[in-house]
Amino acid sequence: MRVLHFRFFLFLFFLSVLCGSSFAVDRTAFTFTHYDLEIRIDPEGHAIAARGKVRLRNDSHAAQRNLTLQISSSLTWRLIELNGKALPYVAAPYTTDIDHTGAVTEAVVTLPSAVPPKGTLELDLGYAGEIAPDTTRLTRIGVPAETAAHSDWDQVAEPVTAVRGIGYVAWYPVSLPAASLSDNSLFAALDDWKRSQHDTNMRVNLCWVGESELTTVANGRAEGVSRHAMGAGEEAATAMGCSVYSFAPVATTVPAFALAEYTALTRSDTNVYHLPPQAPAAQEYALAAEKVLPFATEWFGAPRTKIQVVQLPNIGDLPFESGPILFTPLELTDRNAIQLRMVHQLVHASFNSPRPWIEEGLAHFAQALERERQGGRAAALAYMQTLLPALQAAEAGATRAAPGLINSTDEVMYRVKAMYVWWMLRDMVGDAALQQAFKKYHPLDDKDTAYMPRLIEQAAKRDLEWFFDDWLYRDRGLPEFRVDSVFPRTTLNGTYVVTVTIANDGDSAAEVPVFVRAEGGERTRRMLVKGKSKAVDRVEVPTTPNEAVVNDGSVPESNMNNNAMAVAPK
Ligand SMILES: [Zn+2]
């Protein structure tokens, strides 16, 4: 079947080349301004069939005679019409990693007349095919098959159907230039796409057909549910149910849905959609959310929506989060780990920001705070350090022209770096000042980048411009600390004064803890060390000093292995 399809596409491709039809179309010319789709999902047959309308606007500066429509390469175009008339098009596979299959089925449509700049049109579309597990885009760049399967888990299947949108599965039509995971162009391409679709709305009627009642969950706004038996001529046992969801704007949410014979465990702040055998695990998730709720509320305010936990079928599948919704396998793992997951989603249910470094950064910061509640500061720092290598690699590869964290759309930056930035701020200004800034924050007032930094400075009554400059407004990379020298001196009353010089070979300034360890214990100082500079402080210890250490892991730096120096015996 696959082979046949491929030959068919190949045939069309050569045909179009022979006919001299031009493929030099501008894939970014049209903005998809509105989707109105009905997706019929047949889990038993692993299939979907879609019908609907898409509105497009020519946002290029030239009149366009052609447009491109891309859907997953496992789907086939059935219908492309304008004003009730079929449009001529050529469909061919187009290699790109926006879809798990590593390709899309691209229709190059010829319009009856050129659409001028800002001109709009509404197309009637139909397409169908299978959405089966596919790891092509990952395995072809060398990701081991099992890891790939746990990452690209999207499929229409029994007992659980779970499918994410663009970036995973093109189950709705899009149009983007080819993007690849191997050269990192995928994330930039997805960013550009989201930016271009910033006022795009989508309304989807998600309908299942099958023999038993299924529950649909999606990360949009639910607008209604209907259920009815199929009409005459259909098998009596076949039923159909539909749920309408709207997504506005699509840019901030990758539309995703799941359907299964879910049971909903409903609590005041949480719904856990699970299969009956996972009822005990579902209980754990609901309990974990209840347990961390008071702490999350103290920091980030009360939740304004419920968090939704949606079960994925396979243990080991990577969780996917979208605002307060978490798609995850339900495992009875240790309670602490479940609480970390739930606190992240609770922050999303309570605190929103249009800026990723705030929106996601705070959710990750809350996980570090929760880890501290569970096991103390050392446990929190160890938890953050599991994420540090990703940040070190990203900073090493970043160009200095990269945007500062405040505008970054790089996931490692707005998750990991932002988590550290919040942690450092907390170490500098304290819990009360940060919490006060969060209470004053309103996402609608966040119109300039300095809004949140200003709230923090006001609450802390402290000038932090040097910090925001190096960590938020510019990407100056990470600091790189070492102990430059340690000199102990005996005092008249028998104690020691140790003169410690800390060097920062990196470009970012930070306030970093410095420890002088002695036989009878240790003393700590916080030292502000600017980029490419040294700072000196004197620390008094009661007994013979042994060593000086810079950074307990609370400040991310490029090399943590050169941070201690022994005190030479006198
Ligand atoms: Zn998140």
CA of 41 to the centre of ligand 1 (A): 28
CA of 290 to the centre of ligand 1 (A): 18
Cis before 133 (ω within 30): no
Q: Is pTM beyond 0.75 here?
A: yes
CA of 450 to the centre of ligand 1 (A): 22
488, 494 contact by CB (below 8 A):
no
434, 455 contact by CB (below 8 A):
no
Q: Which residues contact 1 (CB under 8 A, 6 or more apart)?
A: none
CA of 346 to the centre of ligand 1 (A): 9
Q: Is 13 helix (H, G, I), strand (E, B) or coil?
A: helix
Q: Which residues contact 125 (CB under 8 A, 6 or more apart)?
A: 50, 51, 52, 53, 54, 69, 77, 79, 80, 81, 173
Burial class (CB in 10 A: 0-12, 13-18, 19+), 570: exposed
Question: Residues within 5 Å of ion ligand 1 by Cβ?
Answer: 321, 360, 363
Q: Is pLDDT larger for residue 275 or for residue 188?
A: 275
From residue 386, how far is each of 45, 378, 416, 555 by CA, in Å? Answer: 41, 13, 10, 14
Of 117-121, 196-200, 336-340, 412-416, give the lowest mean pLDDT range: 196-200
Tell me the pLDDT tens digit for each residue of 331-386.
888 899 999 999 999 999 999 998 999 999 999 999 999 999 999 999 999 999 99
Give, for 20, the enclosing helix (H) or strand (E).
none
Whether the pLDDT of residue 16 is over 80: the answer is no
| pLDDT confidence of residue 251 | 72
CA of 375 to the centre of ligand 1 (A): 22
Write the single-letter amino acid at 174.
V
How far apart are alpha carbons 92 and 12 in whole angstroms? 7
How far apart are alpha carbons 421 and 465 in whole angstroms? 14
CA of 463 to the centre of ligand 1 (A): 29
Q: Which two tokens stand for residue 379?
A: 């446990």
Q: Which residues contact 423 (CB under 8 A, 6 or more apart)?
A: 365, 368, 380, 384, 554
Tell me the pLDDT tens digit for each residue of 553-567.
999 999 999 999 998
CA of 379 to the centre of ligand 1 (A): 21
Q: Is pLDDT larger for residue 1 or for residue 484?
A: 484
Whether the pLDDT of residue 209 is over 50: the answer is yes
How far apart are alpha carbons 192 and 196 in whole angstroms? 6
CA of 253 to the centre of ligand 1 (A): 12
CA of 410 to the centre of ligand 1 (A): 14
CA of 366 to the centre of ligand 1 (A): 11
Which residue shows structure tokens 């996980």?
A: 367
CA of 20 to the centre of ligand 1 (A): 48
Output the CA angle 197-201-304, nearest 5 degrees: 105
CA of 94 to the centre of ligand 1 (A): 32
For the chain, how many residues are written?
570
CA of 415 to the centre of ligand 1 (A): 8
CA of 330 to the centre of ligand 1 (A): 18
Q: Taking residues 481-509, what's their average pLDDT?
A: 94
Which residue shows structure tokens 């907390």?
A: 426
| pLDDT confidence of residue 7 | 38
CA dihedral 110, 112, 115, 121 (to 10 degrees): -90
* Maximum alpha-carbon separation in the chain: 102
CA of 282 to the centre of ligand 1 (A): 20
Tell me the HSE value of 391 on the side-chain side, using a 13 A CA sphere: 24
CA of 294 to the centre of ligand 1 (A): 19
Q: In the predicted model, what is the mean pLDDT of the chain? A: 91
CA of 345 to the centre of ligand 1 (A): 6
- In terms of average pLDDT, the best of 4-8, 171-175, 351-355, 402-406 is 171-175
